[in-house]
Amino acid sequence: MKELITTNPLFGITLTILCYKAGMVIGKKTGKAICNPFLITVLIIIAILFIFDIPFSAYEEGGVFINLFLGPVTAVLAYSIYRQRETVKAHFVSILAGTIAGSISAVAVILLLASLLGLDDTLSASLVPKSVTTPIAIAISEAIGGVKSLTVTSLILTGVLGNMFAPFMIKLFRIKSRIAQGVAIGTASHVIGTSKAMELGEDIGAISGIALSFTGIITAIISLLFL
């Protein structure tokens, strides 16, 4: 019976939707940053697969269909950018400059830490695109000799941490500029972080959306030219 259920592609899709719904309920009721819906979803799915001894390949039969929406979801951010186009035009140079600085810093920090910790080239290449939206990050990782699974893991951790702590970091460093807030979130924590930026304000979300797009392009250029 278990095999009949888990080998159906609907298993992975249904499990993901139900777990995310549970994550949203828990996050809303607790109001705690640590109770991030995305993080809760991942943890519940892992727990269910482990407890019931369900192979990841069975979950992925349906889960892979959800991955197909990553590209369209990212593209949907263009609507928010369009609605805030006047703001984007007025601050385009600042957004571009901030994104370039953030992208270079992200890659430099990874390479520096990899060198200090003695990580091999494969692991370093897998971590380099950690701040880039998933479709672009996977392409970058494969092009420079990284491992897809490690890249995806680093993406999830980066995005979830950005989503959780972005408001706290903004307050801690007293970042008043909404442009700077959007650039920082989008450059550092891609789409998952941008979902939090949208909660902070449509203008911040729009800036974050364009920042994550620039980050993907800039990181790809840096990776292919210098790594």
In this model, does residue 2 exceed pLDDT 70? no
Cα–Cα distance between 209 and 16 in angstroms, integer?
25
Please report, for residues 39, 45, 150, 154, the alpha-carbon distance to residue 112 in angstroms, rounded to integers and kept in the order given: 28, 34, 18, 16
Please give the angle made by the CA atoms of 128, 132 and 135, to the nearest 5 degrees.
110
Buried b (16+ CB within 10 A) or exposed e, 81-107: beebeebbeebeeebeebbeebbeebb
Query: Could you tell me the pTM of the whole model?
Result: 0.85
Higher pLDDT, 57 or 70: 57
Would you give the distance in Å from CA 140 to the centre of its chain? 15
Q: What is the pLDDT of residue 81?
A: 80
Of the ranges 82-86, 99-103, 120-124, the best mean pLDDT one: 99-103
